[in-house]
Each structure stands twice: as structure tokens, then as C-alpha cells.
């Protein structure tokens, strides 16, 4: 049985807390949704419910960081990256405060909560800030590794945490090195660069392409910032096409980050799969993924377009 990335986050935070007494957790009255409640149960004296006051939570987290603690601040991705943007920018990133953000319920996979709660801009908002590291884990195991890696980084780190239950597609010994992507499947015709919940969909697309004689590599870009420019440029030379796939707007997210690396370099044709400058809407996650083209079929179509 799989589990959600938010459950994996809560469990990882407890493990981290057992190793380091300087780890504290803050939440904006959503602890049972973000699963920081797991940490609260284990370490009630190191957990702080800041109420529905995200901006205040970020300033408090900065204060903890400046006094030697390692604060993990949790809320929904829309509220954290959007409502508290200015506090994250000025109180945390501007001072390079050692604050970690684990924002859950990201992307379209929030489902029936609808467009008002679906953060499809959060990666763009977080990665543009100096000093920020951005992780987008693809499964429970990778989420735990992201939490542990974040604690080792001196500075702000954003961990994008998805809501749905999912199976592990990585192994215990799969490396998680910040800024170093993992090649999930090798190939030399086309390369699919992806992250988060789109990784298993990209792997499915690659399998279908293989049946048609098209060799497709799949790269899990779990770190959006700093991005692994080396692997992108390697695939740009090796393959005829590069396709990015993300559960985020095509503006400012993974596709934009890859395009920035490719700019000025001749090589593979380039296509993007993602949310095309639209807000989300209410529906079951699988229905929304289909409606917005976050499917293996669309990835396949884009891959073939780069080879045409």
C-alpha cells in the first residue's frame, strides 16, 4: 500500500526531530492536513500552531532560525507561497535565514477543493527568490530524503508536498543529491524531464514509446533549483527532442527552468507539458490531469512532435 507525500513528510520530520533537538515545526492551523500533527504528537514542546496567520508564521520561523533553531513551516502551498510571499522574501530569503518550507496540497491534485486552493504557480514564486532551494519529490521515499537533505542545507528550502496517496517508484538506495537529477530510464531519441507526481506518468509514456521503437529517457528533476544544467545539456546533445512534464503552470516552473538552460544552445527540439496559463477547477485529480493534458498520451504526442 502506498501513502501520501504529506504522511511521509510528517514521519520524516519526527525522525529528524529525534536526531536533532534544534528542529521545530510551525503550522498555520492545518497540522492534521499537512501532517505536521505527527511531529506535534511526538514533540509537543517543539510544535507551534500559529493559527490562520501565514505571514506571522513566516516571521516567527525567521526568528527561530536566527536564534539557532531549524524551523519547518507548513501550510497549503497556495497560502504559503502566495499569501506569505513578502514575508518569505524579505524576512527569510533576503537574510538567508535557515527556514524550511513544506507546503502541501500543491498543484491540481488537490482535486475537489478547486482553483481557489490549487497552487499552480508556487514553484515559479519560490524559485525566483535568491538563496532558495526548491525540491519536488516524486514519492514517499523521496519526500523523506528531501526532508533530511533540507535540514543539511544552510538557508531556505522549499519542499513541494503533494496530497494524493501514491506508490514508491524510487528505492531506499536511490540517491537524493540536491541539484543532481536522477535518470530513471535511459534513452537516446527523446528525453522526458519531469518531477513530482508526473514522474510515473512520464515513465508510462516512455514504455509506450518503446513499443513504437522510440527510445525515451526519463529524468527525475527532483531539484528545480539549483537545476541540474549538466544533465539537461547532456540530453540536449544526445537526443533529438526534450519534453518537460510538470503539475504546474508552464510559465515559471520546470519547463521554464529547463528552457533557461537550453537557451543559446543548439540541439534537441523542445516541448512542454503542463498547465497552459489557466487556473484549476474542481474535480477528481485523475479527471483534472486528463482535462489539463497531464497524461502519458499528451507526453507521447509532444515527444513525437519533437521527432517529426
CA distance 75 to 121: 15
CA distance 37 to 258: 36
Single out the catalytic residue among 11, 21, 54, 172.
54
Active site residue 247: no
The alpha carbon of residue 291 and the mean position of all alpha carbons in its chain are separated, in whole angstroms, by 21
CA distance 26 to 11: 15
Residue with cell 522526458: 192
- In this structure, the strands spanning 157-160 and 100-104 are parallel
Residue with cell 528552457: 259
Which residues neighbour 104 within 8 Å (Cβ) at sequence distance 6 or greater? 5, 6, 9, 30, 33, 34, 35, 74, 75, 76, 77, 161, 162, 163
Residue 298 grid cell: 499528451
CA distance 163 to 210: 31
- In this structure, the strands spanning 223-225 and 133-135 are antiparallel
207-211: long-range pairs with CB below 8 Å, 24+: 208/296, 208/300, 209/300, 209/303
CA distance 301 to 226: 29
**In Å, how far are 16, 75, 95, 104, 303 from 88, measured between CA atoms?**
23, 13, 10, 16, 37
Which residues neighbour 67 within 8 Å (Cβ) at sequence distance 6 or greater? none
Residue with cell 522574501: 89
Annotated active-site positions, please?
54
Amino acid at each position: 500500500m502506498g501513502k501520501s507525500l504529506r504522511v511521509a513528510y510528517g514521519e520524516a520530520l519526527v525522525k529528524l526531530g529525534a536526531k536533532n533537538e534544534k528542529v521545530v515545526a510551525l503550522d498555520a492551523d492545518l497540522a492534521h492536513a499537512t501532517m505536521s500533527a505527527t511531529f506535534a504528537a511526538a514533540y509537543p514542546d517543539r510544535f507551534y500552531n500559529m493559527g490562520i496567520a501565514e505571514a506571522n508564521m513566516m516571521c516567527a520561523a525567521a526568528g527561530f532560525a536566527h536564534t539557532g533553531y531549524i524551523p519547518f513551516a507548513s501550510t497549503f502551498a497556495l497560502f504559503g507561497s502566495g499569501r506569505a510571499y513578502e514575508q518569505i522574501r524579505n524576512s527569510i530569503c533576503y537574510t538567508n535565514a535557515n527556514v524550511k518550507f513544506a507546503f502541501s496540497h500543491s498543484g491540481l491534485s488537490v482535486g475537489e477543493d478547486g482553483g481557489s486552493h490549487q497552487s499552480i504557480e508556487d514553484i515559479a514564486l519560490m524559485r525566483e527568490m535568491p538563496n532558495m532551494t526548491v525540491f519536488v519529490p516524486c514519492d514517499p521515499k523521496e519526500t523523506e530524503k528531501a526532508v533530511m537533505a533540507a535540514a543539511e542545507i544552510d538557508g531556505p528550502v522549499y519542499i513541494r508536498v503533494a496530497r494524493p496517496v501514491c506508490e514508491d517508484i524510487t528505492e531506499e538506495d536511490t540517491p537524493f543529491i540536491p541539484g543532481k537529477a536522477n535518470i530513471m530510464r535511459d534513452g537516446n531519441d527523446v528525453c522526458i524531464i519531469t518531477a513530482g507526481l508526473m514522474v510515473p506518468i512520464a515513465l508510462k509514456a516512455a514504455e509506450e514509446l518503446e513499443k513504437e521503437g522510440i527510445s525515451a529517457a526519463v529524468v527525475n528533476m527532483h531539484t528545480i533549483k539549483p537545476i541540474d544544467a549538466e544533465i539537461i545539456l547532456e540530453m540536449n546533445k544526445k537526443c533529438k527532442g526534450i519534453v518537460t512534464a510538470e503539475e504546474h503552470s508552464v510559465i515559471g516552473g520546470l519547463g521554464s527552468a529547463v528552457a533557461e538552460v537550453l537557451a543559446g544552445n543548439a540541439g534537441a527540439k523542445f516541448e512542454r507539458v503542463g498547465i497552459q496559463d489557466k487556473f484549476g477547477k474542481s474535480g477528481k485529480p485523475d479527471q483534472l490531469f486528463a482535462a489539463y493534458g497531464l497524461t502519458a498520451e499528451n507526453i507521447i504526442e509532444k515527444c513525437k512532435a519533437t521527432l517529426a
